[in-house]
Amino acid sequence: MSRAGQLRDRLADGGYAAGWRAVRVLPEPAARALFAAGGALAARRGGRGVQQLRANLDVVTGGRLDDAALADLTRRGMQSYARYWQEAFRLPTLGTARILAGSDLRGREHLERAVAEGRGVVLALPHSGNWDAAGVWLVDFLGGEFLTVAERLRPESLYRRFVAYREHLGMRVVPLTGGERPSATVLREWLATGGTTCLLVDRDLSGSGVPVTFFGRATTMPGGPALLAAQTGAVLLPAVCRFDGAGWRFTVHPPVPVDGPGRLRDRVTAGMQQVADAFATSIAEAPEDWHVLGRIWPGVGPGDRAPAEAP
């Protein structure tokens, strides 16, 4: 790596480390106000990620919003995204009791039934709300850790920092690539013994996912959650996080069937379509809390507008 690249990596890691230290010592109202202002400023500046979020939210709302309303939704989306980072920096200091008291879970019975049956559980989530807060709730519910997969970040020191942060919250983290064993193998073994895993799957970074229709448009999503459930007999549960006032709301949708007759690939594709449908139902209720600043749909790039839905 060049010296310039090494310098960028050190600055990135140092910046996050400084953010973690600084935000934790701020009073909570001050931290919330600071990050909300930062989110609003980012929305006004309208960088490429903000423009992509605007285009994504335009699809989610069916192209029904005029420019002013879409701009307002995008601003609230950036403030929600900023809130996620503010809480990420502060979450270890909030404490489990505070998170449990501020959390509202919908669909708890689906989790309870799967755990009572001794089956593995695959929770498939989008990038919405604060999934780390949901993880703290889940660790308390399970009485132990769950397994999740982390994409490797640059620099490696920053990746290790995020792993340590999540492990401090009670999660077990394996790298998506570059681990001692393939992450898929570790996940299958974990689920086969009745473990629980959480996977963020609304963005297909590999480009090799299964085809789904999401908010009426064709795209792809990673097939891993449905494939793992089919291979191990685990229960596949779509789950969506959102903010709820000063707290958090987590919705667990009914189980998605992936067993039965037919080809495995067809069952995986059908299962991921049901996951996409569940995501869409919950995201539509609070689109500002869906934090995807990257491309989801082919042909929907920064600044694009979706054609309005017929009345």
Q: Judge residue 62's burial from the number of C-beta atoms within 10 Å of its C-beta, 0-12 exposed, 13-18 middle, 19 or more buried.
A: middle
Which band of pLDDT confidence, cut at 50, 70 and 90, is reported for residue 5? very low
Which band of pLDDT confidence, cut at 50, 70 and 90, is reported for residue 1? very low
Strands 121-125 and 235-244: parallel
Question: What pLDDT score does 187 carry?
Answer: 95
The yes-or-no verdict on residue 11 having pLDDT over 80 is no
Q: How do residues 128-172 score in pLDDT, each as one tens digit?
A: 999 989 999 999 999 999 999 877 555 566 667 777 778 878 888
Cα–Cα–Cα angle for 87, 280, 258, rounded to 5 degrees: 105
Q: How do residues 41-64 score in pLDDT, each as one tens digit?
A: 999 999 999 999 999 999 999 999
Question: What pLDDT score does 29 carry?
Answer: 86
Q: How do residues 16-28 score in pLDDT, each as one tens digit?
A: 556 656 667 778 8
Question: What pLDDT score does 304 carry?
Answer: 77
Question: What pLDDT score does 3 carry?
Answer: 55
The yes-or-no verdict on residue 14 having pLDDT over 90 is no
Asked if residue 69 lies in contact with residue 281, where contact means CB atoms within 8 angstroms, the answer is: no
Indicate the average pLDDT of the chain. 88
5-9 long-range contacts (CB < 8 A, ≥24 apart) are 9/154, 9/155, 9/157, 9/158
105-111 long-range contacts (CB < 8 A, ≥24 apart) are 105/137, 105/249, 105/250, 105/251, 105/252, 106/249, 106/250, 106/251, 106/252, 107/239, 107/251, 107/252, 107/253, 107/254, 108/252, 110/235, 110/237, 110/252, 110/253, 110/254, 110/255, 111/141, 111/237, 111/252
Distance CA 225, CA 273 (A): 12
Which band of pLDDT confidence, cut at 50, 70 and 90, is reported for residue 309? low
Q: Which of 109-113, 173-177, 278-282 has the least mean pLDDT? A: 173-177
Question: What pLDDT score does 126 carry?
Answer: 97
Query: Mean of the pLDDT values across residues 28-46?
Result: 92
The yes-or-no verdict on residue 240 having pLDDT over 90 is yes
Question: What pLDDT score does 175 carry?
Answer: 77
Q: What percent of the chain has pLDDT over 70?
A: 86
Question: What pLDDT score does 170 carry?
Answer: 84
Which band of pLDDT confidence, cut at 50, 70 and 90, is reported for residue 250? very high
Q: What percent of the chain has pLDDT over 90?
A: 68
Asked if residue 136 lies in contact with residue 167, where contact means CB atoms within 8 angstroms, the answer is: no
Question: What pLDDT score does 289 carry?
Answer: 98
Which band of pLDDT confidence, cut at 50, 70 and 90, is reported for residue 308? low
